[in-house]
Amino acid sequence: MNKSIKELHDSLKKGEVTSEDLIKEALEKSHDINAKYNAFVTIIDDAKPTSLTDNLLSGIPFGIKDNYSTKDILTTGSSNALKDYVPFFNATAVQKLLDAGAVPVNKTVLDEFGMGGTGTTGHTGIVKNPWDPKRMTAGSSAGSACAVALGVYPYALGSDTGDSIRKPAAYCGIVGYKPTYGMISRYGLFPFASSLDHCGVLTRNVLDAAIVVDTMKGIDKNDMTSWDSKDINLYKSINGEVKGKKLCYIKELCDLNNYENPTEELKSHLNNFMDKLEIFKKLGIEIDCVSIPKNLLDALPSVYVAISCAEATSNLSNLTGIIFGPRGNGKNVTEMMMDHRTKGFSPLIKRRLVIGSYILQKEQQERYFKNAQRVRRLLVDAWKKLYEKYDAVILPVGSGPAKHLDGSKDILTKDTAPLEEHLQIGNFGGFPSITIPDGFVNNLPVGLNITGNCYDDANILNIAYALENAMEYKNQIAKEVR
């Protein structure tokens, strides 16, 4: 299970191992690590082997974030509001994997309904970082990142509204990829903020990410925002040739001089990033430093909060306990709905829903919601302008390695906020965006991110593949360092 998808496929083909063996191993590992790291809501003990086909995913186990609807399998969104909910249909992306013969073995913990970047707000408890259990995995695809990093299987599904795939990937030392908006159907994915929600995958190498998304993607008659990508084959288009490619990084985020009192971790993280850029240049890639107005970058976190909370307020309005979810108590239907929602949501979600509701009020909409949408457009335009000249923007992920659990608070800090939050631009623009590990700080993994223009997924993955090969963190398995 420490192997890549291609290696596992070849082993299955040669008869060195069976689908049954792989499932057994994945299930055993799931039980082992769940006790320690709390990565799963459900372990699918009765997972059945599938026959080997030409599809590279056939017979191989994988994990599903617990906000993807899975037919006849508990799907909670890591929330008490849906703690007993068993869907009667599969999310389109899940169905496509099942059709390819892939075998789901567990449902992974997330921050409740994908809202939160810590991995600490799921209704089953905190997910711990496999490199250091006193630290966070980040979120919201916390369980998926943890399990892939520990080698339970080669890949797990994630979803990404702000950085929910790409940040935990960095904190856990693995690859996290969200393709262009609409490349993978969202049908069956529990919504957080519809205009920002993306499906995607966490793997241990870039090729695996390409293989999985090749299977998950495609136009879906059930999702009007999905588009036809049948002419795109990510796996086959990766060749590692990057000579002459152009990347840029942003001065306002990467220059240490911009930070008043940089921590040691931030210093090492940024220095490591700059060192790696030198290595990439040797591959024949041109890398420029560009400037983006500081005030635009500073606005990023607020724009995200405004838009995501507003959309979430509306998206989560179906959770009333009337049709599904535990029925609330009360003298009338309003009281019943209130009781369901009071008991169902954690304080963090409630806070976000209240913010969202406030922002959407007639009196506030123009000032907060509409202005946030305008700044979103400005940011996306700024990035689109970069793509006129560059293949992609390359940036460090976060301000260092995983944060400590005891310092965990969902509150934004001013100084490093844009560095922590810049991945959200990938969601604002629907850009293809991939995080790969780029080294260690304090013996803990850190990552970098490459974000390109819409529909340019193949190019982005190819660059990521070349960079990954230029470093030594590909396929790494997490081990506790302290």
Q: Which amino acid is at 215?
A: T
Question: Least CB distance from residue 195 to another protein, whole Å?
Answer: 4
Distance in Å, CB of 227 to another protein, minimum: 10
> Distance (Å, rounded) from C-alpha 301 to C-alpha 249?
19
Distance CA 334, CA 348 (A): 22
10 secondary structure, DSSP code: H
Kindly state the smallest distance separating residue 344's Cβ from another protein, in Å.
12
Q: What region, left, alpha or beta, does residue 101 occupy, with left being phi > 0 and alpha being psi -120 to 50 degrees?
A: left
Task: For residue 161, give the nearest of 123, 120, 114 by alpha carbon.
Answer: 114
Question: Residue 362 Cβ, how far from another protein at the closest point, in Å?
Answer: 5
For 47, the 3-state DSSP assignment is coil
The conformational region for residue 443 under phi > 0 = left, psi -120 to 50 = alpha, else beta, is: left
Residue 422 C-beta: closest distance to another protein, Å:
22
Residue 116 CA to residue 101 CA, distance in Å, equals 32
The catalytic residues are 65, 140, 164
| Residue 205: CB atoms within 10 Å | 25
Per DSSP, the residues of 225-284 read T----TT--HHHH-----TT-EEEEEHHHH-GGG-SS--HHHHHHHHHHHHHHHHHHTTT
Number of CB atoms found within 10 A of residue 307's CB: 26
Q: Shortest approach of another protein to residue 113 CB, angstroms?
A: 9
CB 96 → another protein: shortest distance, Å? 15
Closest CB to another protein among 195 and 469?
A: 195
2 vs 334, beta carbon nearer another protein: 334
Is the CB of residue 308 less than 8 Å from the CB of residue 373?
A: no
> CA dihedral defined by 45, 47, 49, 55, rounded to 10 degrees?
-130
State which residue, 189 or 394, has the beta carbon closest to another protein. 189
Q: Whose Cβ is closer to another protein: residue 193's or residue 454's?
A: 193
List residues binding another protein (CB under 8 A): 67-69, 75, 77, 82, 85, 87-89, 91, 186-191, 193-195, 221-225, 310-311, 313-314, 316-320, 322-324, 333-334, 337, 357, 360-362, 365, 369
- Biggest CA-to-CA distance, the chain: 71
C-beta of residue 97 within 8 angstroms of C-beta of residue 60: no
